[in-house]
Every structure is written in C-alpha cells, then in structure tokens.
Structure 1
C-alpha cells in the first residue's frame, strides 16, 4: 500500500530554479499528542502515513539557509479519507493531512534552533499556518485554530475531505498577511500530521516533492 502511495506522487510539481527541496528521508521525528495515540509514518522519498483512529505530528527543523522562504509547493495523495468535519471545532476537527509552517521573528530564530516542537508550540512568539486536506470548507478559507494561545495558529483549507492526488503551490507571505497581518519572520519548522481520532476513522495518505522558495 505504501509503495502505491509513493508512486502516486512521482514528479507532479515543476521546481523553480531557486527552489530548496526538503528531504523526507532524514531529520524527521514523531511527536505524540496523546500517550495512547500515534500515527504510522514511513520516511523516504515521500512521507507516507496511516492513521487509525489516532493523531500525531511528524516534524523537522528548517535549515537557516531556508529561513527566508516565502512560498512552497508539494504533492499529496489520499487513498482513504476521514469524513468531512469542521476544522474550527476543538475535538471534532479530523483531517487527512495537514502541512505546518512554523514562523518566529527573525531576531529570536537563532535562540530557537535547538527547540523541539513542543517548545515551539508553547512559545508566544511563534505563528503557525497549517494547510489542510480535510473538512468541508471552501478553498483558501482561513480558520482560526481552536488550540494553543489565541492568535497563534490558523488552518488554511485547501482540499475538502476525500481521496485523490493533487499538487499545491502556496504563497506563504500572502497567506501570512491574511492570517496574522504583516510579514512573516523566519521559517524555522515544518510538520505533517494526520488526525482521525475524533471520527475513529482511517487515513492512508502521503506527501512528497516539498519545495521551499
């Protein structure tokens, strides 16, 4: 099954000359959000994930050379989907895949180079945008996160719940301005999650060809 998921992602995105590709083979760690709940991640050319009534995050730090990234592109596929949910509802916001972009002010980025994802999520200077495949929202809708400190995080809906394969190309700076106002700082972290615990459903998904620019 994982081989089929990876094959569905083969080179569906055209990279720009100054693009910075992100490897899924090394540097990623899983962060559990619950003691008894964990997704099954497989790291390699792409990141494959199975989520069975569970939720967790796979995350990585961004190299200082890419802290100034203001756009991103990737491909993703879903072979088994959660049902549509309200992504703004705490405890009822299951989604197939979310890709997180973690920003901090440039002035504090050097001091957070060694921070783990829990430290970043608990830092008041952090701003988080997650692009989601799931829910029942219109494309591009900005949804305030019901988790964490108010104003820290948003979900931007890209695909409604369902299966298929798609390529995405997002304007991080433009979306940041819509979500929080102003310019983004340094992009210091990336994360991928699948969330199926509220609906006790199953996700089979993968993401690849992730490029920062």
Structure 2
C-alpha cells in the first residue's frame, strides 16, 4: 500500500511540474538581426531564411546580432546545427589579427540590472560595457574540442570555446551555457541578453561558405 501511495504522489508531482518546466525557445533568423560591419569594405553576406542562416565570407569579417526577449534571459543551454562547405585554414584563435574562424556564435550576458538598463542596445555598446560577459562558441582554429581560450579582443570579459577545428562537415551542437559561464567567469549568469554570429576570413584572405540552423535556447 505504501509503495502504491508513493507512486501516486510521484505521478502527481511530475504532472504538476511538467507545465512549469523550461521550454526551448527557437531563435529565428529574420530581420531582427542587425549587421555590424568592422570596416567599410566588409563583404560578409548573411541570408535569413527563418530556421536557417546562410553565411558567406570572402577575405572579410563582420557580425550580426539579435537581442533576446526577457523570457529567454534565464536560458541555461543552447542548441543548433551548423555546416561548413568551404573553410578557412587552421589558425591560432588566441592571436589578435590572426584568428580567422568559419563560424562564431556569441552568447552575450549581463547582470540583470544592466540588462534592463541597456535593453535594445547595439552590440557595439554591449561589447564595450565592463559588466558584459561573452562566451564565443567557435568552429575554426587549430585547438582541441572543448578548449576554452582567452579572447584576444574582450580580455577577461570574453572566452572562446572551441567546438570544431577548421575544416568542412556538418554537426549538431548542444552546450551548457550555465556550466561554461561558471568555468569561464565564476559565479552564475544573470541574463542572456542576446546572440551574435560572425564569420572571419580576412587575415588569411580565404573564403567561407557555411550555414547555421535550428538555433534555440532553453
């Protein structure tokens, strides 16, 4: 009788918790993404196709950014698929001015109070903020998978997390934002305010043809 009672209680508790469990939030590739060029002659191209983002780079570098709604600020993980048809050579991602990569996905975090104050701010403003913390998930470079490197541009405010070395192929990824944040910066992330995507081929004067699909946070 006791066992049956506890099984009943377990079922009731699970039924109660199911509606409040965190749900994945899809991040669409649409006009909400803003293109941040780093020079007048930037030639990166991004094709917005709903679930899919096509990426082209020809000896250039630029970045696109999308702020996330407040409902996604507490996200603890992210998932996506990506593919590279044409790759830059392997580079040292720790080297400023020599760190070409096929795709970089930026997860941009702020303390809650700063997130509210800077709601809707441009990516250039956010990256210049002393309180910002950025995890940069990268396909490129010559480093082992899982390596966490100092950012040559953001200093202590950013970490590069290597997921794939330079080369072609197609893969699906799932990352633990909370664990990676704690490892990189210590403490707990308060607000995931936005995501950015970049392609970088200017240092090696090479070309990139790639795609990122089915991006979601949870």
Q: TM-score, normalised by structure 1?
A: 0.90
Matched, 1:131 2:137: yes
1:118 aligns with 2:124: yes
From 20, 23, 35, the equivalent of 2:28 is 23
Q: 1: distance between equivalents of 2:146 and 2:118?
A: 30
Residue 169 of structure 1 is matched in structure 2 by: 174
**C-alpha RMSD of matched pairs (Å):** 1.2
Aligned residue number for residue 59 of structure 1 = 65
1:106-137 deviation digits (Å, cap 9, x = unpaired):
12211111210000010001001110000011
Whole-angstrom distance in 2 between the partners of 1:154 and 1:64: 24
User: Which structure has the larger Rg over C-alpha atoms?
Assistant: 2
Give the equivalent residue in structure 1 for 2:11.
none
Task: Report Cα offsets for 1:76-100 as digits up to 9, x if no partner.
Answer: 0000000000000000000000000
- Listed as ranges, the gaps of 5+ residues in structure 1 are 1-15
- CA distance in 1 between partners of 2:157 and 2:60 (Å): 24
Report the secondary structure of 1:152's partner residue.
strand
Q: Which residue in 2 is equivalent to 1:185?
A: 190
Matched, 1:197 2:202: yes
2:158 alignment partner in structure 1: 153
Give 5+ residue unaligned stretches, structure 2. Answer: 1-20
Determine which structure has the larger helix proportion and give its number.
Answer: 2
Per-residue deviation, 1:26: 3.1
How many angstroms apart in 2 are the aligned matches of 1:26 and 1:78?
Answer: 23
Report the counterpart of residue 8 of structure 1 in structure 2: none
TM-score by length of 2: 0.88
1:152-184 per-position Cα deviation (integer Å, ceiling 9, x unaligned): 111100000000110000000000011111111
Q: For residues 23-50 of structure 1, what are the alpha-carbon distances to aligned partners after superposition, in whole Å with 9 as ceiling and x for unaligned?
A: 0123011100112223011101311010
2:97 matches 1:91: yes
Distance 2:75 2:26 in 1: 11
